[in-house]
Structure 1
Amino acid sequence: MTESLLRLVFFLGVLGVMLLWEWRSPFRTFPEDKTRRLSRHLGLMALNSTVARILTGGGAYFAAELAFEHHWGLLNQFALPYGLSFAAGLVLLDFAIYLQHLAFHRVPLFWRLHKIHHLDLGFDTTTAIRFHPLEIVLSTYYKMVLVMAFGLLPLAVLVFEILLNACALFNHGNARIPAPWERRVRLFLITPDMHRIHHSSYKPETDSNFGFSVPFWDKLCGTYCATPQLGQGGMEIGLNEQRDPKLLNFSRLLVLPFR
């Protein structure tokens, strides 16, 4: 099974589980039809994948194979045990994605692209795949440079990409976790309640909880927010600058960063 097919199988599996969970135990309801949201966001993901494949080739996994074959990168200069190199790759990539997310909020040019993700007036597992194609391309190049600079193992890159997609689908879920369980899970994994705060329209909350998998980076770097000001039920999702759903269709999302 190729790398791309393996990632797709895991993605579809987790997406199916999350859609079922949201249907059985939704946290809140949104006015927009679920089918319309799913088709628009899957359309964005398909476009993003196509554009990224054309402009970046094989992406981070291809870069890792190249680095491994030619012994490029920092970790390839040492005779490290395979398990240690694998674990180091996962940790480095996870922290790098945290820093990337932070940069896409702090740098105005990057924010023009990333706000497409935050303009979603709903919050469900499909929000996890709602990104502008140029953001995906920039993210892929960033990971490729990182992978080659550190000489990360191809298997570590593949496992990380699968985990990143799975965690993003999970923590964007419009799903209800009982409070006692949510507090326990949040100790080692970013939950929907934690990441939902990041999609608040209140800017101090938007600029918090940047992690995608584990909560440790936010806590270490001072960007952790445990509870929204208006509570999970009263928190407004989206951005105040645009709240008309008619202006947030597929084509408008693509051109919005250039206006």
Structure 2
Amino acid sequence: MEALELVKEYFYFEILDKYGGPVIAACLLLFFFAESYRRLRKLKAYRWRRIKTNIGVAFTAVMALRLLLIPAMVYLAVFAENHQWGLLNWLNLPVWMSFILGFLLLDYGNYLWHRLNQKINFLWRFHNVHHIDLDLDVSTALRFHFGEIIFSVFFRGFMILLAGPSYWLVLIYEVIFETATLFHHSNWQLPYSVEKIFSRFIVTPRMHGVHHSIVHRETNSNYSVIFNWWDRIHRSIRLNIPQDEINIGVPSYRDPGEQKFKNLLLMPFQQPRPWQLPNGEIPLRKSKGKKSRLVP
């Protein structure tokens, strides 16, 4: 009961609602107007129709996030602290060091979770809803099937029990995680010189644009969410694809008429299509230059 009261007091009224929510909303508007003013990639589909669909999918995901995922993660963090579970509860580090290590462990966990979503066929059925968007912008950052959010409770909860972060670190990380997701999904064309510097350590729009390519080996790269060190360590980074050559989406889902709210909700319960264009062609590209070098 004590843990549940702690969750209610600090989660609903302090860290997330009072501070985190407004920060996330402000960043959403900032990136929306930024990508409207300076587009990185040309749009292929009707923007407002996509946004309407993506918001509909996002509403179901936000309910799962708010009512299940975040409360579960906070509760498990409190449980781990009370029972001295997890690495950080065993090490007795200074607060600042525990914060940094815990933040990195949470971020690495999300890198692993992202890879699992694309390697395990069952999980891909749900994550595919996010990837078949025909364009990539800040609204795509909201387009996750609620089933994916529900299944993430088990993996992300396990990582919390393993790492043992404090409940307030879990909430702070979640706010930054959501903001970073909005940022790197945005279609915002930052000055190349600026993004080149950012791309040395964090995930940027050009970097994540490669991850949403219809070329399979490009989709199977750039899994990181906040820090891109994990892709560099695991050699899954790919930055050398010009943005004007990237075709966003999944090759077997090219019909805009299929991009409807009802279809997207039901898609995970249908057999995924093979990774090929409607004419049977498999998209390929011969990349040039060093994989870890960002190109315009």
TM-score of the two chains, using structure 1 as the length reference = 0.93
- Provide the alpha-carbon RMSD of the alignment: 1.7
Which of 36, 40, 47 pairs up with 2:49? Answer: 36
Superposed displacement of residue 71, structure 1: 2.8
Q: Does the 8 A contact of 1:11 with 1:165 survive in 2?
A: yes
Q: Which residue of 1 aligns with 2:14?
A: 2
Question: Using the alignment, how far apart are the partners of 1:53 and 1:17 within structure 2?
Answer: 23
Q: Which has the larger radius of gyration?
A: 2
Aligned to 1:122, the other structure's residue is in SS state coil
Which of 154, 158, 162 pairs up with 1:145? Answer: 158
Q: Which residue of 2 aligns with 1:195?
A: 208
Which of 183, 192, 202 pairs up with 1:179? Answer: 192
TM-score of the two chains, using structure 2 as the length reference = 0.82
Q: Which residue of 2 aligns with 1:128?
A: 141
Q: Which residue of 2 aligns with 1:204?
A: 217
Q: Which residue of 2 aligns with 1:233?
A: 244
Query: Per-residue CA shift, 1:68-97, capped at 9, x if unaligned?
Result: 234332321332211121111101011111
Q: Which residue of 1 aligns with 2:126?
A: 113
Query: Per-residue CA shift, 1:134-193, capped at 9, x if unaligned?
Result: 111111332122112321111221111111111111111111122222211111221101
Question: Using the alignment, how far apart are the partners of 1:67 and 1:161 within structure 2?
Answer: 18
Superposed displacement of residue 199, structure 1: 0.4
Please tell me the residue identity of whatever aligns with 1:131.
Answer: F
Q: Does the 8 A contact of 1:85 with 1:153 survive in 2?
A: no
Question: Using the alignment, how far apart are the partners of 2:230 and 2:85 within structure 1?
Answer: 28
| Bigger Cα displacement from structure 2, 22-31 vs 183-192 | 22-31
Aligned to 1:240, the other structure's residue is in SS state coil
1:60 and 2:68 correspond: no
1:155 and 2:181 correspond: no
Aligned to 1:156, the other structure's residue is in SS state helix
Q: Which residue of 1 aligns with 2:267?
A: 256
Aligned to 1:58, the other structure's residue is in SS state helix
Question: Using the alignment, how far apart are the partners of 1:167 and 1:56 within structure 2?
Answer: 18
Superposed displacement of residue 219, structure 1: 1.0
TM-aligned CA distance change 1:56 to 1:227, over 3 Å? closer
Please tell me the residue identity of whatever aligns with 2:102.
Answer: G
Q: Does the 8 A contact of 2:88 with 2:102 survive in 1?
A: no
Aligned to 2:73, the other structure's residue is in SS state helix
TM-aligned CA distance change 1:250 to 1:156, over 3 Å? same
Please tell me the residue identity of whatever aligns with 1:246.
Answer: G
Q: Which residue of 2 aligns with 1:245?
A: 256
Q: Which runs of 5+ in 1 are unaligned?
A: none
Please tell me the residue identity of whatever aligns with 1:257.
Answer: P
Q: Does the 8 A contact of 1:114 with 1:135 survive in 2?
A: yes
| Bigger Cα displacement from structure 2, 70-79 vs 118-127 | 70-79
Q: Does the 8 A contact of 1:15 with 1:169 survive in 2?
A: yes
Question: How many corresponding residue pairs?
Answer: 257
Which of 47, 51, 54 pairs up with 2:60? Answer: 47
| Bigger Cα displacement from structure 2, 145-154 vs 8-17 | 145-154
1:170 and 2:177 correspond: no
Identity of aligned residues (%): 30
Q: Which runs of 5+ in 2 are unaligned?
A: 1-12, 271-296
Q: Does the 8 A contact of 1:52 with 1:140 survive in 2?
A: no
| Bigger Cα displacement from structure 2, 198-207 vs 5-14 | 5-14
